[in-house]
């Protein structure tokens, strides 16, 4: 039996869901290896050969001599070019897609990630920093306002249909409840969430490799929040 070209190494995080969204939307077969942070799978020599930074996701393209790709945005771009989808052909729209992809990678992800870290990991482990929390929550809100403005009068971040920019942005921006960031008075962003929420492939992707409804503001988060803080307690102690 022929193996799929794509072998994805990922976990149930905002970055980890991004390539799964692409693969499910594109209907591309793939093999999946779930990375267990508790076991430090991402720090093994085998994984570090795929991603020297020791972070997920990582991907191997078996059809290209086992070419390894790391960084979630780079993986999305690679897949879009390989399968010729979710990337506009018009040069300006293509550039806009890359710009909004970079906006997620350099802005929304890091800022919301810090808002999550200081509230969901540092504070429960005895490192409560109100200044840091206020700063990162405020900056996350500002970036969501930028997205709201961009989405005024348009359905997608770039081009005329869903692209890798939307796929990259969605898991992070949609996790505003986990980051404890308000989206009040951001109607265009909320409408975009509804469009993305309504896509069956997107919703399926958010269950692979594990569903984390608490990220999106659903379910009883208390036990998950405790376990999540415990999983990363050593990171706080190292700091």
The string of pLDDT tens digits covering residues 13-26 is 999 999 999 999 99
Q: Which CATH number fits domain 91-200+216-238: 3.20.20.70, 1.20.1050.10, 2.130.10.10, 1.10.3720.10?
A: 1.20.1050.10
pLDDT of residue 237: 65
Question: Under a CB-based contact definition with an 8 Å cutoff, are residues 136 and 108 in contact?
Answer: no
Question: Under a CB-based contact definition with an 8 Å cutoff, are residues 119 and 179 in contact?
Answer: yes
d(CA 198, CA 191): 11
pLDDT of residue 85: 98
Q: Whole-model pTM? A: 0.95
Local structure of residue 13 (DSSP, 8 states): S
The domain locations on the chain are: 6-83, 91-200+216-238
Q: What are phi and psi of 61, to 5 degrees?
A: -100, 105
- Tell whether the model's pLDDT for residue 239 goes beyond 60: no
Domain 6-83: state its class. Answer: alpha beta
pLDDT of residue 221: 83
Burial of residue 125, with CB atoms counted within 10 A of its CB: 0-12 exposed, 13-18 middle, 19 or more buried: middle
Average pLDDT over the chain reads 95
pLDDT tens digits, one per residue of 42-89: 999 999 999 999 999 999 999 999 999 999 999 999 999 999 999 999
Across the range 121-135, mean pLDDT stands at 95
94 pairs with which residues across the strands?
Answer: none
Give 219's pLDDT tier (boundaries 50, 70, 90). Answer: confident
Give 210's pLDDT tier (boundaries 50, 70, 90). Answer: very high
Across the range 117-123, mean pLDDT stands at 95
Q: Do domains 6-83 and 91-200+216-238 have the same CATH topology?
A: no
Q: Coil, helix or strand for 182?
A: coil
Pick from 19, 15, 17, 35: nearest CA to 231: 35
- Tell whether the model's pLDDT for residue 214 goes beyond 60: yes
pLDDT tens digits, one per residue of 182-201: 999 999 999 999 999 999 99
d(CA 186, CA 156): 15
For the chain, percent of residues with pLDDT exceeding 90: 89
Across the range 211-217, mean pLDDT stands at 94
pLDDT tens digits, one per residue of 130-160: 999 999 999 999 999 999 999 999 999 999 9
Across the range 118-125, mean pLDDT stands at 94
| Distance, first Cα to last Cα, the chain | 48
Go through the chain and tell me how many residues it has.
Answer: 239
């Amino acid at each position: 039996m022929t193996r799929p070209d794509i072998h994805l190494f990922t976990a149930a995080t905002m970055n980890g869901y991004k390539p799964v969204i692409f693969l499910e939307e594109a209907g591309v077969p793939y093999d999946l290896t779930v990375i267990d942070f508790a076991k430090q799978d991402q720090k093994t020599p085998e994984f570090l050969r795929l991603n020297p930074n020791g972070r997920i996701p990582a991907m191997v393209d078996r059809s290209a001599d086992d070419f390894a790709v790391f960084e979630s945005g780079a993986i999305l771009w690679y897949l879009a070019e390989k399968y010729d989808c979710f990337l506009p052909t018009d040069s300006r729209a293509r550039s806009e897609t890359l710009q909004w992809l970079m906006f997620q990678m350099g802005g929304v992800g890091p800022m919301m990630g810090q808002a999550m870290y200081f509230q969901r990991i540092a504070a429960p482990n005895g490192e409560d920093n109100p200044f840091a929390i206020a700063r990162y929550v405020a900056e996350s809100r500002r970036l969501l306002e930028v997205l709201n403005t961009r989405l005024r009068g348009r359905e997608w971040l770039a081009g005329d249909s869903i692209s890798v920019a939307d796929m990259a942005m969605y898991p992070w921006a949609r996790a505003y409840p986990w980051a404890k960031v308000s989206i009040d008075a951001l109607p265009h962003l909320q409408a975009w969430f509804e469009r993305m929420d309504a896509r069956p492939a997107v919703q399926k992707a958010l269950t692979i490799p594990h569903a984390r409804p608490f990220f999106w503001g659903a379910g009883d988060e208390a036990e998950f929040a405790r376990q999540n803080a415990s999983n990363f307690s050593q990171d706080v102690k190292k700091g």
